[in-house]
């Protein structure tokens, strides 16, 4: 996968301030505030920064956490993870593999068949409902 590299200034020109804070500065949107946490429309969720396909609506479920949750990524090659030890916790951060955007975190308390819960910031996503 080709890696997308841009300066902070280029990202700031492309993204809203809130998108920049979440995707480039690893912030988190407040629970239940994002447009996709309770969204039911079918489609493909893409990275708001680079349009890489990340999650399919058929893998979305209501986790009750206030963020969109998926039990599987659209393609394992399109997301990557790394250890996040911020805020006194040890979590697994989810990033777009193409541009490095912070998407959210993945936990092992999701439904079968994967038992994963990708807990993703709505603001990091753009729904392609074609």
CATH number where 58 lies: 2.170.150.20
Provide the domain limits for residue 35: 30-128
Interior/surface letters 35-50, b for 16+ CB within 10 angstroms, e for the rest: ebbebeeebbbbbbbb
| pLDDT tens for each residue of the chain, 130 residues long | 789 999 999 999 999 999 999 999 999 999 999 999 999 999 999 999 999 999 999 999 999 999 999 999 999 999 999 998 888 889 999 999 999 999 999 999 999 999 999 999 999 999 998 6
Per the structure, the count of domains in the chain is 1
Q: Which two tokens stand for residue 33?
A: 């505030």
Rounded alpha-carbon distances, angstroms, from residue 108 to 71, 72, 83:
10, 11, 14
Q: Would you name the residues annotated as active-site residues?
A: 119
Residue 109 lies in a domain: yes
Q: pTM here?
A: 0.94
Residue 70 within a domain = yes
Q: Tell me whether residue 12 is in a domain.
A: no
72 CB-contact burial (10 Å; exposed 0-12 / middle 13-18 / buried 19+): middle
| Residue 13 counted as domain residue | no
């Amino acid at each position: 996968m080709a890696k997308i590299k841009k300066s902070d200034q280029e990202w700031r020109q492309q993204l809203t301030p809130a998108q920049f804070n979440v995707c480039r500065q690893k912030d988190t949107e407040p629970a239940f505030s994002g447009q996709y946490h309770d969204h039911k429309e079918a489609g493909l969720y893409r990275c708001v920064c680079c349009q890489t396909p990340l999650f399919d609506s058929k893998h979305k479920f209501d986790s009750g956490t206030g963020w969109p949750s998926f039990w599987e990524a659209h393609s394992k090659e399109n997301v990557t993870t790394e250890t996040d030890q911020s805020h006194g916790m040890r979590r697994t951060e989810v990033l777009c593999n193409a541009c490095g955007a912070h998407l959210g975190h993945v936990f092992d308390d999701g439904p079968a068949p994967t038992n994963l819960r990708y807990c993703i910031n709505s603001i990091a996503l753009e729904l392609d409902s074609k």
